[in-house]
Amino acid sequence: MKNGVLMQYFEWNLPNDGRLWSQLKEDAAHLGEIGVTAVWIPPAYKADEQADEGYATYDLYDFGEFDQKGTVRTKYGTRKELQDAISALHDNNVQVLLDVVLNHKAGGDYAETFEAVEVAPSDRNKDLGEPREIESFTGYDFPGRGDCYSSFKWHWYHFSGVGNDTRTGTDAIFRIVGEGKGWSQGVDGENGNYDYLLANDIDLDNPEVIGELKSWGHWVTEEFGFDGFRMDAVKHMDYNFTRDFLRSVREAAGENFYAVSEYWSNDLGSLDSFVNDVEGATDLFDVPLHFNFHAASSQGPDFNMATLLDGTLVQTDPSHAVTFVDNHDSQPGSSLNSTVEDWFKPLAYGLILLMREGYPAIFYGDYYSIARQATPEEVRTEETQAGKIREGSCHRLILDILLDARKNYAYGDQTLLFDHPSTVGLVRHGDESHPGSGLVLLMSNDMDGDKVIDLGENHAGEIWREMTGSIPDKVKIGDDGKGCFAVKGRNLAVWVKE
């Protein structure tokens, strides 16, 4: 979608009040107005408990419809409320991407006994002893749903590994053994083989499993009208499955069905290899760019801004890059905490929203707010939701300005200005389809800066203004097509034709 913008419409610490789908429905018109063209919603199906964010997946077919795991609704609401939200978003020309978790299942209904061997956490190819009989909760019969939508029941042989032996009370990584069992090979090589991540690891080489998950993919797209998927944890999943699964979904939903995947790695080579392995079936989040933002924000003036795009997916393979600043995995308190400091976030968002390359994603926590764990004193003195305090965002104002700039001015060819250790930026030259379009973006991580920029003699005499309000003075383009554009220290400036 031309100048499309994706919003991740959740953060890790949302309250367990069942209100997210209703909130999203109420917010649909606003999202469309500000230029959001797609939302990525969290895992919407039943988890192992109501308060779970959705990644401890229990039943892929229960979207808040059946009484299971002590609840009908999920953390985010009921199936009916989700369907109403999707309809409202579609009415406002906003697409909906479902977060799809196919790597593992949690919350088994009963324990089963089977052969397994404990493996070393740092080298999952190394066995720690001999195979033995263990017991774990790998049986799923979905008592609340029964056979509705699918009669498939999960057993130990549908998994490749588990995280505990309930018979001995041992928490460890166990590889299930038996005919046709073993770790998938088409996964990331970290820890020897990174097939196992958590809970009951789904065996994506098992033909019964492959058939059931493809069937679910067809069902869920037809049932809800999703426009795309965000694929979770693909570095832990056999890339052959990911490629074939998305092909199968597109057979039912159409070739324009969108997919972006989370491959959490700062190694550009691993990302490039994955895109090639799946034959371009999915875009990827540009994790290396996120880590560049994180480093720039923490190092301040010691970071060389000229290198901000180095080693990133958006630089080497922009057609498959989804650019982002932060998300639920990188936010404070998460296991992958790598938060971009607040002072740098406007610069980072300015870059991803105004540059030509990449599909930018905005984080709910940056546009609205995130919650943090309350201190004991705050729990005693403040009203909190499950011991958490919600803090207001300081980025919505600048994000609205940048979204407006993207929608109205960020068109045409681009000139990158990454030629200085502290003051960098870019020029968008506009196009004939959007009269008055074009802009200059400057960013500084140190002192005030400026650049003399040649916009072309066809711009001679024009007056340009700074959109964010940081610089009141205007710039007049000279007869030679050049103008001197400024930026305040540790800030960004967005210049457009008045």
Q: Which amino acid is at 42?
A: P
Nearest residue to 135 via CA among 153, 116, 118: 116
Q: Give dist(CA 483, CA 463) in Å, integer.
A: 10
H helix runs in 9-144, sequence order = 20-34, 79-91
Residues marked active site are found at 232, 262
Three-class SS of residue 475?
strand
Check if the beta carbon of residue 149 is closer than 8 Å to that of residue 219.
yes
Nearest residue to 229 via CA among 218, 338, 380: 218
Nearest residue to 136 via CA among 182, 101, 191, 173: 173
Tracing tokens 């976030």 back to the chain, one arrives at 345
Q: Give dist(CA 373, CA 388) in Å, integer.
A: 4
CA angle 299, 369, 380 (to 5 degrees): 105
86, two tokens = 């999707």
Beta-carbon count within 10 A of 384 CB: 16
Residues 6+ apart with CB under 8 A from 438: 409, 411, 412, 427, 428, 429, 430, 455, 496, 497
**328-to-40, 73, 270, 462 alpha-carbon distances in Å:** 12, 22, 22, 43
Nearest residue to 293 via CA among 324, 329, 260, 327: 324
Nearest residue to 64 via CA among 55, 53, 77: 77
| Residue 160: half-sphere exposure toward Cβ, Cα within 13 Å | 26
